[in-house]
Amino acid sequence: MSAIEQKQVTADEAGMRLDRWFKVHYPGLGFGRLQKLLRTGQVRLDGKRAESSTRIAKGQTVRIPPLGVELPADDKKNARPKSTKLIEDDRKAIEDMMLFEDSQVMVLNKPAGLAVQGGSGLKRHLDGMLEAFADKKGDKPRLVHRLDRETSGIILVAKTRKAAQELTKAFRHRNTQKVYWAMLAGVPKPKQGRISTFLARDEEEERMQVVRQGKDDAQHAVSLYSVFEQSAQKLSWVTMKPITGRTHQLRAHAAHIGNPIIGDDKYFNIENWELPGGIQNRLHLLARRIRIPHPSGHGVIDVSAPLPPHMQQTWNLLGFDATEYDPDVDDPNEEELNKKR
């Protein structure tokens, strides 16, 4: 893109954060670069300065300076159309991931290694694969939240615009309860606790770091954790519940308490730590369960995902039985831990 553009916010995008809007339209644009463009007033909303967290409304105009990034995700004019075989392959792959489906929602079990959205150099990602389910008008199912590329497990997809709005609202108002399973190095002390920090992005390292309150772009992050099983003092099977939804939150928090997640290439911070034999050096983090009000206003979606193959292998080696424990989302000890939220 070589000139300033003006784009209008569609009804479908109403209520979306501005940084999320840019992620959808310009997946190759880094967070740090966007922040700089916002700080310097090069990106504007209806002619006024805005912040990354600003919620956009239908009909507003976003001023976009020359970005120098790859083709936006929604620009179809110069994009090569997918072949029929690729569309069929994508449809089959998503159907294989399906844990739950009705007229308004899909709940998918995303495999580790599959990116949720596009980015520089990425040819295949979940958001693009959903085009295989587009209707005659070209409208496709919508992602309502994200997982890191190497995290496996539950992803919610809205099949209608209204469902997307209702599910997004549930996430925003924290009416959603999520349970993750992780394999950590060592055993956290205490075995059940609450982690409360401020996180900010380290652009050079492309990771989140724990910072003091008040630092630019710092966001409050709260997680709960509980050790279920351990292998001596070497490894522990831990359930984690993010109360807030920050980027890499659980990974950064696990490292912060001195028990990083096994296979985490960004946050594992124990020097000279040796991975036990037979365990794959891949991220051991599973979005295990989600509980969220159904977008229809009737009932609750409550779905669990199985361990991915590399984590199941680790559980087998350590003699852990995943069928022994499926934690209630409403943990009786959670209320006490979360009083200071």
Q: Summarize pLDDT for 267-290 with one digit per residue, the tens.
A: 999 999 999 999 999 999 999 999
Residue 231 has pLDDT above 80, yes or no: yes
Pairwise CA distance, residues 197 & 253, whole Å = 8
In the predicted structure, residue 338 carries a pLDDT above the cut 60: no
Residue 330 has pLDDT above 60, yes or no: no
Answer for the pair 224, 193: CB distance below 8 angstroms, yes or no: yes
> What's the pLDDT score for residue 324?
76
Q: What angle separates helix 31-39 from helix 18-25, to the nearest 10 degrees?
A: 130
Residue 139 annotated to the active site: no
Q: Provide the pLDDT confidence category of residue 77 given band limits of 50, 70 and 90.
A: very low
The predicted pLDDT at position 83 comes to 67
Give the global pTM: 0.75
With a cut of 90, say whether residue 70 has pLDDT above it. Answer: no
Q: What is the DSSP letter of 274?
A: P
Structure tokens at 95: 């159907």
Confidence of residue 121 (pLDDT cuts 50, 70, 90): low
Is the pLDDT reported for residue 264 higher than 90?
Answer: yes
Average pLDDT of the segment spanning 113-126: 82
pLDDT score for 28: 76
Beta-carbon contacts of 187 under 8 Å, excluding residues fewer than 6 positions away, are 227, 230, 233, 236, 259
Q: Please report, as a single letter, which amino acid is at residue 257.
A: I
The residue-averaged pLDDT of 157-184 equals 92
Supply 93's token pair.
Answer: 């792959």
Question: Per mean pLDDT, which range of 93-102, 120-129, 266-275, 323-332 is the poorest?
Answer: 323-332
Task: Provide the pLDDT for residue 73.
Answer: 44
Rounded distance between C-alpha atoms, residue 292 and residue 174, angstroms = 9
Using the predicted structure, report yes or no on whether residue 1 has a pLDDT greater than 70.
no
Reported as a pLDDT band with limits 50, 70 and 90, residue 76 is very low
Comparing 1-10, 89-98, 180-189, which segment has the lowest mean pLDDT? 1-10
Distance CA 181, CA 160 (A): 30
Indicate whether 79 pLDDT > 70.
no
Say whether pLDDT at 326 is over 50.
yes
Among 148, 217, 265, 328, which one carries the catalytic annotation? 148
Would you tell me how many other CB atoms lie within 10 Å of the CB of residue 6?
A: 10
